[in-house]
Amino acid sequence: MRVIKRYVKLYSSFVRINLMREMEARGNFVASCLVILCFPMFSLIFVGAIFSQTKNLNGWSVNQYLVLVGSYMVVSSLVFTLFFKNVFELPEYIRKGQLDFILLKPINNQFFVSTRMVSFGEMMQGIPGIVLIFVGISGGNLSVDWWRWLLYPVFVLCGVIIAYSTWFIMTIPCIWWVKMDFAEFFFNLFDLGRYHPDMFGGFAKTILTFVIPFGVVAATPADLLLNRLGWESALWALVLAGGLLFISHRFWKFAQTRYFGASS
């Protein structure tokens, strides 16, 4: 319990320091928030283009798809708020030799490199996501049980952990190949979360669920609200989140045993 309190206090300090930094340039912060708020418009244009041609996309109505896209935006906002600057900067720490000093700190260094920076502006894309969820539910005359709303944050958290862990695992090889950067590759894969694996079916569904599991990050919480979530899918999301987080930690520990410092 003492260790947990220590890390909660440390993370609170990170949040406070980052907020103070953002407030030093409030104009830039407000401008970036407004820009980020505009990003979801592209998703709406895409949805409109699809459903202007059909009323049903492999069993998904426009209102159901709005719940899925809204859930994706919520998960995406949390991933980029909490981890974007951190994981994105990890290759730079390695190239500049800053990782050497981080590894000497008397705390869990994966926690440090993953949480020390918070991008508050990225939270803005979660707002239109929440709006889309309620628009989809009300537009489709859907009834959502209260307990589904209570479980919804749990599966959103699973989606965040799956995305973070996968991105972190993809970034770790930069310890050996310092000029490699998988950020753009991750972003392209993460965009697959806008689509439900059921929309593809067959081999593609298997890939998006088990091999490149970005199809799970938003589909699971959306399925929960839409009363489409089976216990197998719910269990898989929980196991996948825990398993990938564990793998990312073990891989990070292994990489440290093969890291010989900036001079190498």
Is there a domain that residue 36 lies in? yes
β-partners of residue 60 are: 57
Give me the helices (H) in 39-145, please: 40-51, 62-96, 98-103, 109-115, 126-139
67 part of a folded domain: yes
pLDDT of residue 261: 61
* Residue ranges making up the domain that contains 230: 2-257
Residue 262 within a domain: no
- Structural domain contains residue 263: no
Q: For residue 95, give both structure tokens.
A: 């190239």
For residue 74, what pLDDT is reported? Answer: 95
Domains in the chain, number: 1
Q: In angstroms, rounded to a whole number, what is the distance separating the alpha carbons of residues 140 and 177?
A: 50
264 lies in some domain? no
Q: Is residue 99 part of a domain?
A: yes
Q: Does 143 reside within a domain?
A: yes
- For the chain (264 residues), the mean pLDDT of every run of 10, in chain order, is 83 86 76 73 73 74 90 94 87 79 83 88 86 89 89 96 93 79 79 84 80 89 93 94 95 82 56
Q: Is residue 81 part of a domain?
A: yes
Query: How many whole angstroms separate alpha carbon 219 and alpha carbon 155?
Result: 9
